[in-house]
Amino acid sequence: MKAVRIHQFGGPEVLTYEEVPDSKPRQDQVLVRVRACALNHLDIWVRKGLPGVKLPHILGSDIAGEVAEIGEYVAGFQPGQRVLIAPMHFCGHCAKCLRGLQNQCREFTVLGNGVDGGNCDLIAVPSMNLIPIPDGLDFNQAASLPLVFLTAWHMLVGLAGVRPGQTVLVLGASSGVGIAAIQIAKMFHCRVITTAGDEAKLDKARGLGADHGVNHYKQRIADEVRKITKQEGVDIVIEHVGAATWDESVRSLKSSGTLVTCGATTGPSVGIDLRHLFARQLRLLGSYMGTMGELREVLGHVFAGRLKPVVDRVFPLSEIRASHEYLEKSQMFGKVVATP
């Protein structure tokens, strides 16, 4: 089969489109023919070098395709069935997994990070990771869903406990997590403020339901938030940008507000004045992916039409270097997808 592998860490030039041995499913696995694999910033970080990644390595976390072969112990799936793959690896038998807390499993990792991912023709995965997709979603749309919608749902619903009538600040309107978080917050009847680097992206964010947009290149985020909320601040901040926006995000919170972070795109080192933290009774929460139950819950809303994926651009898998270069320019609004 064809696959994209990295044999060393570095820039897009280390991505090699090459022939590799076909994946073979175990008796408890299903072999999936990959039809689409969406990119994430995780692909860039792994390509540049993350601890624990063994070379050669196949990138790609978000996968949709068709069932090609079914292991002897697997029931409930048929050859040719359209599915997406939960973008995670976990043991399935530890105390955390048995409680449905897969993202707290000691073996937990994201596909394409600690284990090989979906930048290939075929991938073998446990049957518990497969979720059938309805006919109304094409493969590119389906591949654009799992990681970012699960992450946003876990942040807003699982951790922050979002409630109707709250005000939510979503950093990075054009990112996958941002696009999902805007829609989820609006589904809960919240007022949504979001940020982006140009007016075109902010207009698209308003089209998804955002009530207010802040151009972070021209405006101070916290100052604008205070104006919009009449100096009160927001109940929840969805933060995944990191060092570049951290101080503004904390300043945007109202007393007893909650900041949830899942990323550090612009750098991991931030500061916090503890007096500000305890005097205003702020909550700062870390978030990493989510559980299988949460993934099925949020996908139920997508399949019902209440939430929708946004695809920006599709590349052939053979042009994976160009897709990485495009992603690194951060000009997209929505997901970038590679198709074998």
CATH code where residue 64 lies: 3.90.180.10
Same domain, 215 and 137: no
Tokens of 87: 């973008």
CA pair distance 185, 125, nearest whole angstrom: 32
183, part of any domain: yes
Same domain, 140 and 83: yes
Note the pLDDT of residue 260: 98
Question: Tell me: the pLDDT tens digits for 1-50?
Answer: 999 999 999 999 999 999 999 999 999 999 999 999 999 999 999 999 99
Q: 70: part of which helix (H) or strand (E)?
A: strand 62-70
Note the pLDDT of residue 219: 95
CA pair distance 279, 198, nearest whole angstrom: 35
CA pair distance 260, 181, nearest whole angstrom: 12
Same domain, 55 and 112: yes
Same domain, 139 and 47: yes
Same domain, 76 and 129: yes
291, part of any domain: no
Question: In 298-325, which positions are buried (b, 16+ CB within 10 angstroms) versus exposed (e)?
Answer: bbebbbeeebbbbbbbbbebeebbebbe
CA pair distance 302, 37, nearest whole angstrom: 18
How far apart, in Å, are the Cα atoms of 129 and each of 3, 21, 91, 223, 291?
A: 21, 23, 12, 44, 11
Q: Give the domain range for residue 138.
A: 2-145+309-339
301, part of any domain: no
Same domain, 103 and 154: no
Note the pLDDT of residue 266: 85
303, part of any domain: no
Same domain, 160 and 276: yes
Note the pLDDT of residue 100: 97
Same domain, 32 and 132: yes
Note the pLDDT of residue 265: 84
Q: How many domains does the chain have?
A: 2
- Preceding peptide of 132 cis, ω within 30°: no
304, part of any domain: no
Same domain, 160 and 137: no
Note the pLDDT of residue 258: 98
Same domain, 331 and 212: no
137, part of any domain: yes
- Per-residue pLDDT 10s for the chain (340 aa) are 999 999 999 999 999 999 999 999 999 999 999 999 999 999 999 999 999 899 999 999 999 999 999 999 999 999 999 999 999 999 999 999 999 999 999 999 999 999 999 999 999 999 999 999 999 999 999 999 999 999 999 999 999 999 999 999 999 999 999 999 999 999 999 999 999 999 999 999 999 999 999 999 999 999 999 999 999 999 999 999 989 999 999 999 999 999 999 988 888 899 998 998 999 999 999 999 999 999 999 999 999 999 999 999 999 999 999 999 999 998 899 999 999 9
Same domain, 251 and 215: yes
Note the pLDDT of residue 233: 98
User: The domain that contains 239 carries what CATH number?
Assistant: 3.40.50.720
CA pair distance 264, 246, nearest whole angstrom: 10
Same domain, 139 and 159: no
241, part of any domain: yes
125, part of any domain: yes
Of the three residues 250, 271, 286, the one that is the final residue of a domain is: 286
